[in-house]
Structure 1
């Protein structure tokens, strides 16, 4: 009889443990969050985005910067490429890599001239400048690293004027078009050659949207069922304000063009953000980080010298700390 009682007690205890395990499992499922980082276009201000990531890692609990999803446009795609080579929990390794990537750019070239110079680019090539030096810079740093989390690169098909997003998952290999997708997203029309992929002629995603928040939500929905469990951090590289000018009458044609681009980029970036708030009311848009100070005095956003990189590093880490 005594043995029977013990066995019944064991059965009851096992049943209780099973119930507790199920409850804990359910609690973990309910507590699951999807964190995403959306990175905008910005040309030479890609180093600012890298510095923001470094600053967030240095100032937040580890679990709050373990991003499941990364989305990038233009320069943001280069950072998305680099960060996606690390699993969400590999935050220190990712931080060191992305900082080192941009710190190394003065030793390389983000782009170069064609042998025949700008005239060859204007009349005989698909872009004014050659982007192959930039590919060498990123490929040398990336090495044989593999993709370890969800990443999306936003481009525009110039043929159909449609937004094309290229999705990747944590397949732990190096997709043959992974690097190509990042540079397609960075191919500013006329400035750099577009990328041909099948029937598509791909150019910079910033032509339509300068930050791809919808893809961050869409990819997170692959991880969680409820939009309330989606947390998105966003980095915009546009100027923190539009600088007033009082000598516009002295501007050259190119300066007028760039002034118009400066104004358009500022308002387009904020419009992308504001429209996402309306489209996804239940998503937790946690941080929107933009430069609090001017990052470069260059008219073209293609100044990758040491001074610009250092300035981006300084302001980016400060803005992340103050977010």
Structure 2
């Protein structure tokens, strides 16, 4: 919600444009007596004071610790204030790592698994295709949303490619990404039930489709071509268009670790 003084107060006097203190109350109510017990969990936050990435694992996530860590996950720099916790301030982990595959693979290795026995399924927070927009009439807030959209897209792309280079023997099996724009509003985290249901249904649809695929090779090739600024995918070429072009023989066979331009 807005501060009492509106966006001006958030911009000049607070740590973020909007006030999200109600989120902490919601989390404390919903997470009463809840703690992770069945799966290994790693939640990453950004220590604002030290500028470092901090991991919180399942043994750290119970009671107020769980509520505060999850609350800090909503603290996107500039949008909401950092969360004061453990004698420091935290932003969400995406300030440093938008896609942290490394912690997961490292945990599998620590458990004694060989790289060739590790299978990674990835969920991206951005679409496979960055939409083209007409920003001629955008104002400051709209420009901020567009910046975050572009930044998140390329951060996800970079995170996936870096991980595949770092672990050439790990099997990157499924990658789930939104197939279309998700509902949003001027106020962050402010969605009605129909919008939440739409996001849920989209996730089920995209997850089911991704599960039917056996590798991420096509998406990896698409991302690598965009990373290299290949002329064939410039001008807003979508992922679906790329797939059609590939089926028509317009792209060469692709092996990421043999691509010298990407090394």
TM over 0.5: yes
Structure 1 residue ranges without an equivalent (≥5): 1-111
Matches within 5 A, 1:103-114: 112-114=1-3
| Structure-1 residue corresponding to 2:168 | 281
The offset of 1:252, in angstroms, is: 1.7
Aligned partner (choices 207, 228, 251) of residue 320 of structure 1? 207
TM-score by length of 2: 0.70
Equivalent in the alignment of 1:21: none
* Whole-angstrom distance in 1 between the partners of 2:85 and 2:169: 36
User: In structure 1, how many angstroms separate the alpha carbons of the residues matched to 2:62 and 2:47?
Assistant: 24
| C-alpha distance in 1 between matches for 2:94 and 2:186 | 18
1:303 offset after TM fit, Å?
A: 3.9
Q: Which is further off, 298-307 or 183-192?
A: 298-307
Counterpart selection for 1:137 from 6, 26, 42 = 26
Specify whether residues 261 and 299 from structure 1 end up closer, same or farther in structure 2 by C-alpha distance, changes over 3 A only.
farther
CA-based RMSD:
2.4
Aligned position for 1:61? none
| Structure 1 residue corresponding to 2:13, chosen from 104, 118, 124 | 124
1:251 and 2:141 are equivalent in the alignment: no
Q: Contact (CA 8 Å) 1:224, 1:230: kept in 2 or not?
A: no
Question: What is the TM-score of this pair, normalised by structure 1?
Answer: 0.58
- Number of aligned positions between the proteins: 209
Taking the aligned partners of 1:244 and 1:155, their CA distance within structure 2 comes to: 31
Distance 1:304 1:141 in 2: 18
Alignment match of 2:120 (pick from 232, 248, 253): 232
Taking the aligned partners of 2:29 and 2:66, their CA distance within structure 1 comes to 14
Match of 1:154 among 40, 44, 59: 44
**Is the 2:34–2:63 Cα contact (8 Å) retained in structure 1?**
no
Is the contact between residue 151 and residue 168 of structure 1 (CA under 8 Å) also seen in structure 2? Answer: yes
Gaps of 5+ in 2: 211-263
Indicate conservation of the 8 Å contact 2:28/2:64, yes or no. no
Q: Show the counterpart of 1:220.
A: 108
Higher relative contact order (CA 8 A, sep 6+): 1
Preserved contact between residue 188 and residue 204 of structure 1 (Cα < 8 Å): yes
Q: Which protein shows a greater Rg?
A: 1
Report matched runs for 1:1-323 at 5 Å: 112-148=1-37, 149-169=39-59, 174-198=62-86, 200-245=88-133, 247-296=134-183, 298=185, 302-323=189-210
**Structure 2 equivalent of residue 4 of structure 1:** none
Say which structure is richer in helix: 1
